[in-house]
């Protein structure tokens, strides 16, 4: 057996990239691996469910991008419930807690709120999503499946909560620190939060959809980071994902004008290294191709005459600096 001696943080990485080890493969020496996934959790019959809940199948319909006042009112309430659930999950983060335990807490809180946890049984390319929450650790970009892996001191973990209540969805996520994390991960997380907020500020009526991605990409790349291309923000309302796509990088053809009454998510995934993604065999877990860390923050927003209104701010904004802006 050959021992590999790891370089020092500031030495050149062993992979030959020419980057410092700490900016390259330092974190991929302890990759996230699939753990054990527990059986499906039931949802009581009293809770109104989206189409996929019992079948793992979904059929999309044409939903207007501009919502009625009635849909908007319901989205304000469901968005608030999703945000409060996310903030609550954030208080449970500590080394040794499994993502499975966080999923259970999400599932139970959703039911207490009389809401359906939208990810549960949502159809995918291989199998329906088997849990009520997405939990994405370190190099996992998004759609990580909660399992029996204990969160470790130094991890960064994203929880992505979507609730369905009153016939509409509210979708929001945030990246949390497990114990003490390194400076590089802190900076990545702060820049990602700021990317999300800059994207939201660009979502003004009269601007174009691609002004959002332009603002995000400029700020991410100015900080030396990458913007994931394979996953985008989306129109949301009576459906979890409508046909409206919000790229987090500049896409010249996305030149539709942003109009009051539109509701969509902004949820950039920002990478320390390359933006390329790989998919695990489960058809859900997306990881960075280079194994470096990534972070994400997501809000559901409504476009008003005065500008963007965030629908997913929790009541207690002190739990994470993301909400204190
Ligand atoms: N909440 C994710 C989003 O922001 C979608 C998760 S789909 C799931 O669009 F099935 F993985 F839950
Ligand atoms: Co979303
Ligand atoms: Co989401």
Distance 244 CA to ligand 1 centre (A): 15
- Mean pLDDT across 311-325: 89
Q: What is the pLDDT of residue 22?
A: 75
CB 78 within 8 A of CB 168: yes
Task: State if residue 119 touches ligand 1 by the CB under 6 angstroms criterion.
Answer: yes
Residues 265, 294: Cα–Cα separation, whole Å: 19
- Mean pLDDT across 128-136: 99
Q: Which ligand is nearest to the CA of 118?
A: 1
Q: pLDDT grade, residue 19 (50/70/90)?
A: confident
Atom of ligand 1 minimally distant from the CA of 160: 1
Atom of ligand 1 minimally distant from the CA of 162: 1
Distance 268 CA to ligand 2 centre (A): 10
pTM flag (> 0.85): yes
Supply the residue whose CA is at minimum distance from atom 7 of ligand 1. 119
Task: State if residue 122 touches ligand 1 by the CB under 6 angstroms criterion.
Answer: yes
Task: State if residue 116 touches ligand 1 by the CB under 6 angstroms criterion.
Answer: no
Residues 224, 273: Cα–Cα separation, whole Å: 8
Q: What is the pLDDT of residue 294?
A: 98
Domain boundaries, the chain: 64-312
Across 97-101, 185-189, 286-290, 317-321, least confident range: 317-321
φ, ψ dihedrals at 113, nearest 5°: -85, 0
Q: Which ligand is nearest to the CA of 236?
A: 2
Task: State if residue 103 touches ligand 1 by the CB under 6 angstroms criterion.
Answer: no
Supply the residue whose CA is at minimum distance from atom 2 of ligand 1. 160
Identify the CATH number of the domain defined by range 64-312: 3.90.230.10
Helices 69-90 & 99-112 angle (0-180, nearest 10): 140
Residue 105 scores a pLDDT above 80: yes
Q: What is the pLDDT of residue 13?
A: 67
Residue 146 scores a pLDDT above 70: yes
Average pLDDT, the chain: 95
Percentage above 70 pLDDT, the chain: 94
Q: What is the pLDDT of residue 269?
A: 99
Task: State if residue 162 touches ligand 1 by the CB under 6 angstroms criterion.
Answer: yes
Q: What is the pLDDT of residue 27?
A: 61
- Mean pLDDT across 282-303: 97
SS3 category, 64: coil
Q: What is the pLDDT of residue 104?
A: 99
Distance 19 CA to ligand 3 centre (A): 32
> What are the distances in angstroms from CA 84 to CA 166, 197, 236, 309?
16, 19, 19, 17
- Mean pLDDT across 23-44: 86
Residue 57 scores a pLDDT above 90: yes
Q: What is the pLDDT of residues 211-266, one digit of tens each?
A: 999 999 999 999 999 999 999 999 999 999 999 999 999 999 999 999 999 999 99
Task: State if residue 129 touches ligand 1 by the CB under 6 angstroms criterion.
Answer: yes
Pocket test for ligand 1, best of 117, 119, 129, 172 (most atoms within 8 A of CB): 119
CB atoms within 10 A of CB 153: 12
Task: State if residue 298 touches ligand 1 by the CB under 6 angstroms criterion.
Answer: yes
Task: State if residue 100 touches ligand 1 by the CB under 6 angstroms criterion.
Answer: no
Residues 168, 166: Cα–Cα separation, whole Å: 6
Distance 19 CA to ligand 1 centre (A): 33
Task: State if residue 217 touches ligand 1 by the CB under 6 angstroms criterion.
Answer: no
Distance 224 CA to ligand 2 centre (A): 25
Residue 15 scores a pLDDT above 70: no
């Amino acid at each position: 057996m050959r021992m590999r001696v790891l370089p020092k943080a500031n030495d050149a990485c062993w992979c030959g990239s020419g980057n410092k080890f700490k900016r390259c493969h330092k974190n991929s020496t302890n990759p996230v691996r699939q753990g054990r996934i527990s059986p499906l959790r039931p949802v009581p019959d009293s809770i109104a469910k989206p189409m996929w809940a019992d079948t793992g199948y979904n059929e999309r319909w044409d939903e207007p991008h501009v919502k009625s006042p009635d849909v908007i009112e319901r989205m304000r309430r469901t968005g608030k419930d999703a945000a409060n659930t996310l903030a609550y999950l954030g208080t449970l983060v500590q080394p040794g807690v499994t993502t499975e335990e966080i999923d259970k807490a999400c599932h139970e809180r959703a039911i207490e709120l009389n809401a359906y946890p939208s990810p549960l049984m949502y159809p995918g390319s291989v199998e329906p999503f088997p849990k009520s929450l997405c939990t994405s650790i370190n190099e996992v970009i998004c759609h990580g499946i909660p399992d029996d892996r204990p969160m470790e001191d130094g991890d960064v973990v994203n929880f992505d909560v979507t609730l369905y209540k009153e016939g509409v969805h509210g979708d929001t996520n945030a990246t949390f620190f497990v114990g003490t994390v390194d400076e590089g991960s802190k900076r990545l997380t702060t820049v990602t939060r700021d990317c999300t907020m800059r994207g939201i500020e660009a979502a003004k009526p009269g601007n174009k959809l691609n002004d959002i991605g332009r603002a995000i990409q400029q700020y991410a790349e100015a900080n030396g980071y990458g913007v994931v291309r394979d996953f985008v923000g989306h129109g949301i309302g009576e459906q979890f994902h409508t046909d409206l796509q919000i790229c987090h990088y500049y896409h010249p053809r996305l030149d539709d004008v942003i109009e009051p009454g539109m509701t969509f998510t902004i949820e950039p995934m920002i990478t320390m290294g390359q933006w390329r993604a790989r998919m695990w065999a489960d058809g859900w877990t997306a990881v960075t191709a280079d194994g470096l860390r990534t972070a994400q923050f997501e809000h559901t927003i409504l476009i008003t005459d005065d500008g963007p209104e965030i629908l997913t701010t929790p009541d207690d904004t002190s739990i994470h600096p993301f909400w204190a802006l």
